[in-house]
Amino acid sequence: MCEIRRRRSSIAIELIRSADALSHVLARIDEVLRLPEITLAQATDIESIADTIGDVFLGIRQAVSANDFDRLIACGDRLRDEIAIAEALLDRFIKPMN
């Protein structure tokens, strides 16, 4: 029982960290979509980021419902990867303030 509790705590901490990064990504998506130079195709690509992340959250929800720790860890890893991909993509659109 102690091992299960430890795994749950570890997963929860990782998801909380991802949620913090996710709020930053969603704010940046909003910022980028407001840029006047964004084309319709670019906007569609950017909006797909939120859709992909939403799909990952659905997987997390299903894994929690099924008490599937391995799937939950995999979904957490994928969420972290998708956030990193989103940040890299958004960085290309946001000009440095220097």
**Segment 7-22, tens digit of pLDDT:** 778 887 888 888 888 8
Q: Exposure string (b/e) for 22-32, b if CB count within 10 Å is 16 or more?
A: beebeebbeeb
Record the pTM. Answer: 0.80
CA distance 76 to 61: 11
**Segment 46-83, tens digit of pLDDT:** 999 989 998 998 998 898 889 888 898 899 899 999 99
What ranges in 34-98 are assigned the alpha helix state H? 40-65, 69-93
What are the residue ranges spanned by the domains of the chain? Answer: 2-93
38 three-class SS: coil
Q: Compute the residue count for the chain.
A: 98
